Amino acid sequence: MDEDQRRSYWRANTTLIRNLLIVWALVSLVFSILLVQPLNAIRFFGVPFGFWMAQQGSILVFVALIFIYAFQMDKLDRKYNLGKQDQKYNLKK
């Protein structure tokens, strides 16, 4: 990988991290804590929505975020031809 590729790989990585962390902060800190009172006026089936986000929804989103990151990074590694070499290394061992 040359210098330019390195830089654009890193930029793509940090952009992905930033976007996912925005979602992370929205579901947990904003929806489940800061805005929990107004959101509790909305019903999510049998429970108030803010309460559901705090006790179930945010955890489900957290799991999804990590897998999205892992799959997106796989794609990025393939694009920069990093994934294969990584595997080759492992086979060699």
* Residues within the interface to another protein (CB under 8 A): 1, 6, 9-10, 13-14, 17, 20-21, 24, 28-29, 32-34, 36-37, 40, 44-48, 50-52, 54-56, 58-60, 62-63, 65-67, 69-70, 73-74, 77, 82-83, 85-87, 89-90
Q: Which amino acid is at 31?
A: F
- Contact criterion met (CB below 8 Å) for 13 and 77: no
Q: How far is the CB of 4 from another protein (least distance, A)?
A: 13
- Whole-number Å distance between alpha carbons of 88 and 70: 19
Q: Which of 4, 70 has the CB closer to another protein?
A: 70
Q: Which residue is associated with the tokens 């994934």?
A: 83
